[in-house]
Structure formats: C-alpha cells, structure tokens
Chains A and B, each alone.
Chain A
Amino acid sequence: MPLKVTDLAVARGGRSVMSGVSFEVAAGAALILRGPNGAGKTTLLRTIAGLQPPLSGHIAGARETIAYAGHADGLKAMLSVRENLDFWAQVFGQDDIEAAIAAYKLQPLQDRLAGTLSAGQKRRLGLARLMVTGRSIWVLDEPTVSLDTDAVALFAAAVTAHLNANGSALIATHIDLGLDAGSLDLAPYRSATDLRIGASDEAFL
C-alpha cells in the first residue's frame, strides 16, 4: 500500500512549521526530503510515524507499516549488539536477525556491548534494526549522521535491497546516497505566518 500524504500541516511546540505538504511514495520507490535546518523535516517524519498528531491534512497507508529511525538509535548500552537486535526483532514479531547483521557487517561486533561501540558503529546497528522490523515503509531521519563512506555505501545497498523487495523509504538527508529516488524540497511549504502572531494576547506575552 503506498504512503499517501495529503495537504498535511504539522506543528512543533504549538507552532505550525509546515503546511500544504502532499506527496505519495509508491511501493518499491523512495523519496528524499530536503530542506534547510528548521524546515520541519523531523517534525514531518515524526508526524508520519504517528508520534504526534497532524494539525490538519491526511496520512494514508502509514498505520502498522512504518519503521521509524530518528536521531536516537534506541540502543541499550548494557546489551550486546546481538541482544539489541534480538529484542527489536521480537517486539516486531520477527526472528531472523542474521540478514541484518550481515548487511551492515556487524559480525565482528555482535558480542560487544552496544555501549562500547563507536558513534558510527552504533548508527550501523540502529539502521540494522530497520531490517528486523519486517515493516515495509522505512521513515528515516538523517540516517547517515556519523557514518563513514563505506558505511554509507552499506546503507545505500540496504535501502536498494529493501526497495527491490517492494518496500519503500522516506528519507530526510543532505548527502547524495546514489539512490534512484525522487526528491522533495520542503522549503516552499514552510508556514509563512506564525499562528500566534496577531493573536489577541500577543501584546501581553
């Protein structure tokens, strides 16, 4: 089922940051979101992932199909790499974590505690988590932060494999992943007026 966003407006901290956003991501396709800092990429992705309600507009096809990866990886420092992946696989009702370990070359690290990994290694583990969710739409917020070029290539390969398996991906990033994907610039959708400006109590605040 394609992810379809219609005339969406999202808010952060009670202020509208973006409105009128519409796009569709079909199965097997990816969409790259671009926009300057503060454009509302994270807020948009959190809204699509269901972490916060939209101000207005409609999101179709997102329930129970989304695997979200934000700025934090959701790893437990005192669990090993394998235990971390096992936990998420079980939460999502899956049991195979070997493919994810292989895709991100985590074999040499699999018995290390996640707390002893470097930032880039943690990120690789965080991205490997997506593969054990069994979900079809990946919603990724700056997935390549702290990854080196080799790891970015691993990530791009994993996304390509996911797309070939009829999955889809919505990625906010600034670097070129070399994916065959459409791109959407979010800058034009930025809310022109702050909703509070002109409100009657403004002079008193």
Chain B
Amino acid sequence: MIALLRRDLLLALRAGGGFGLGLAFFLIVTVLVPFSVGPQSDLLTIIAPGVLWLGALLACLLSLDRLLALDFEDGTLDLLVTAPLPLEAALSIKALSHWLTTGLPLVVASPVLGVMLNLAPGGFVWLVASLALGTPALSVIGTFGAALTVGIKRGGLLMSLLVLPLYVPTLIFGAEVARRGAVGLDAGTPLTLLAGITLATIGLMPFASAAVLRMTLR
C-alpha cells in the first residue's frame, strides 16, 4: 500500500504528472471572478466563500479523469486486480494520493485567494477548516466516478456529469460553513454534517468503487 502511494506521488511530481494542475486552475478561476463581477469589494465579500468552494470543487474534478485512466491504458489496473492488495485498499490509496496532490494544495492556497476576494477576516479559519474536511470527500467520490467511466474512451465529460450531482451535499455544507464563519454566525452544525459526509464516503465509497471497477474491467 505504501508502495502504491509512493509511486503515485512520485508520478504526480515527475514531468507530465499533472501535479499543480488543479491548483493553477483554482488560482485562475478565482482571479477571474473579480474581473467578471466588477471591483465592488463588498459584493466580493458576500460571494467569496461560495466562489472559493466552487473553484476548489471544479479544480478537484479537473484531475479526476487521470486518476484511473492512465493505469487502465498501460495495463497496471489489470495487474493490480490480480495482486494480493485488496482492490478496495488500492482505490482508497488512489483517492488519498489524489487528495494529497490536488485537495491539500487547494486547502493551503485558499487563504491567499481569500484575501484576493476580500473574504471577511473571521472567515479564513472556517474556510480552511471546511476545505480541509470537505475535499477528501471530493477525492473519494471522484474515485468512484473514475472507476465507473474508466473503460470508456474520452469518458471525462461523462464522469463530470455523473460526479457533480454527488458533490452537491459536500458543496452545500462546505460553503455554508465558510459563509457562516465569514459573517460571524455559529458554523458548528454544518461543520459536523460536512465531517459526517466525509467520514461516511471514506468508509463506504471504496467498496462501491471496487465493485464497479471489477465490472468495468471485465
């Protein structure tokens, strides 16, 4: 398992691995928002939590189609299925490496982008907390979508259509935590629900992903 994680991280860091792609996309999307809505700083303050969450979600989505497709094309997936490692564990590791290379950089970069969108001072802690708790769910659900569409040529768009509705609960509660934090309300309830969603997906989704992957590999 450690070997698989190390290999995936190494591949992401080497040329063409796509590390930082999601982060760069996140940066550009959030930089474009002030251009499109105009320079009213009070309006930006209101929409900042939602924009940051949507940007992070789309950035996560962007790198999902590489998650399993590359391993499928070069035959690694077939060999992993016949390896002693349970497929559920292998897919959990895949989701973890996706989060480490995509979700974690977004969490770290979000305060800087918060400044750019004039996020209220009280909101930074809650923004980081909600992204740190919510993005793992995005990676785990995304792995399920990737497993579902791995055998389809150019299945990236189809995968987005399948995965985005599944992202709705995470987005609602994640953005709600950030919004409540920014306006100074108690954010405990949505934060608890967000943590619950994340833990449930981490616990259950790998089994669903492994089941659909076994089917798509047939």
Task: Identify the A interface with B (CB < 8 A).
Answer: 46, 49-53, 64, 66-68, 70-79, 83, 86-88, 90-93, 129
Interchain CB contact under 8 A, B83 and A92: yes
Assess the B74–A51 pair: CB atoms within 8 A: no
Does B158 reach chain A (CB closer than 8 Å)? no
Q: Mind listing 10 A-B residue pairs with CB under 8 Å?
A: A51-B81, A72-B78, A74-B75, A74-B79, A77-B74, A78-B14, A79-B7, A83-B10, A91-B83, A91-B84
CB–CB B3/A91 < 8 A? yes
Q: Are B75 and A76 in contact (CB under 8 A)?
A: no
The answer to whether A78 and B17 have CB atoms under 8 Å apart is yes
B152 within 8 A of A: no
Chain A residues with Cβ under 8 A from B7's Cβ?
A: 76, 79, 83, 87
Q: Which residues of A contact B82 (CB under 8 A)?
A: 49-51, 66-68
Q: Is the CB of A74 within 8 A of B84?
A: no
Q: Does B108 contact A (CB under 8 A)?
A: no
Q: Which residue of B lies closest to A114 (CB)?
A: B74
Q: List 3 tightest A-B contacts by C-beta distance, closest first.
A: A72-B75, A90-B3, A74-B76
Cβ contacts under 8 Å, A53 to chain B = 218
Q: A51-B82, A87-B3, A91-B4 are in contact. Are A70 and B17 (CB under 8 A)?
A: no
Supposing A68-B82, A79-B10, A92-B84 touch, asked if A74 and B15 sit within 8 A by C-beta, the answer is no
- Contact partners of B11 in chain A: CB under 8 A: 76, 78-79
Is B3 in contact with A51, judged by CB distance below 8 angstroms? no
Bound-complex Cα distance A88 to B217 (A): 20
Q: Which of B74, B75, B80, B218 is in CB contact (< 8 Å) with A91? A: B80
Identify 12 new A-B residue pairs, CB closer than 8 A, beyond the known A51-B217, A51-B218, A76-B11. A49-B82, A50-B81, A72-B73, A73-B74, A78-B14, A78-B16, A79-B7, A86-B3, A87-B4, A88-B79, A90-B3, A92-B84
Q: Does B47 contact A (CB under 8 A)?
A: no
Q: Tell me how far the C-beta of A61 lies from the nearest C-beta in chain B, rounded to whole angstroms.
A: 15
List the B side residues contacting A86 at CB < 8 Å.
Answer: 3
Q: How far is the CA of A87 from the CA of B10 in the complex (A)?
A: 11
The residue among B2, B10, B78, B217 with the most chain A CB atoms within 10 A of its own CB is: B78
A75-B3 in contact (CB<8A): no
Alpha-carbon gap, A87 to B74, bound state (A)? 15
Residues of B within 8 A of A64 (CB): 84
Residue numbers in B under 8 Å from A87 (CB-CB): 3-4, 7
Asked whether, in the complex, the Cβ of A76 is within 8 Å of the Cβ of B3, the reply is no
What residues of B have a CB within 8 angstroms of the CB of A72 in the complex? 73-75, 78
Residues of A within 8 A of B217 (CB): 51-52
CA distance A67 to B217 in the complex (A): 17
User: Once the chains bind, are B3 and A70 in contact (CB under 8 Å)?
Assistant: no
Question: Which residues of chain A are within 8 angstroms of B80 by Cβ–Cβ distance?
Answer: 91
> B85 near A: Cβ within 8 Å?
yes
Closest to B10 in A: A79
Smallest CB-CB separation from A76: which chain B residue? B11
Q: Which residues of B contact A67 (CB under 8 A)?
A: 82
Q: Take A51-B82, A51-B217 as given contacts and tell me if A78 and B15 are in contact as well, using a CB distance cutoff of 8 Å.
A: yes
Collect the chain A residues with CB atoms within 8 Å of residue B2's CB.
90
With contact pairs A72-B74, A79-B10 given, residues A93 and B84 touching in the complex (Cβ less than 8 Å) = yes
Contact yes or no, B218 A52, CB < 8 A: yes
Mask for B13-32, Cβ within 8 A of A = 1, else 0? Answer: 01111000000000000000
CB distance A74 to B218 under 8 Å? Answer: no
Who on chain A is nearest to B2 by CB?
Answer: A90
CA A83 – CA B15 in complex, angstroms? 16
**Residues of B close to A90: CB separation below 8 A:** 2-3
B75 touches A73 (CB 8 A): yes
A64 CA / B14 CA spacing, docked (Å):
33
CA distance A121 to B147 in the complex (A): 31
Alpha-carbon separation in the docked complex, A54 to B217 (Å):
14
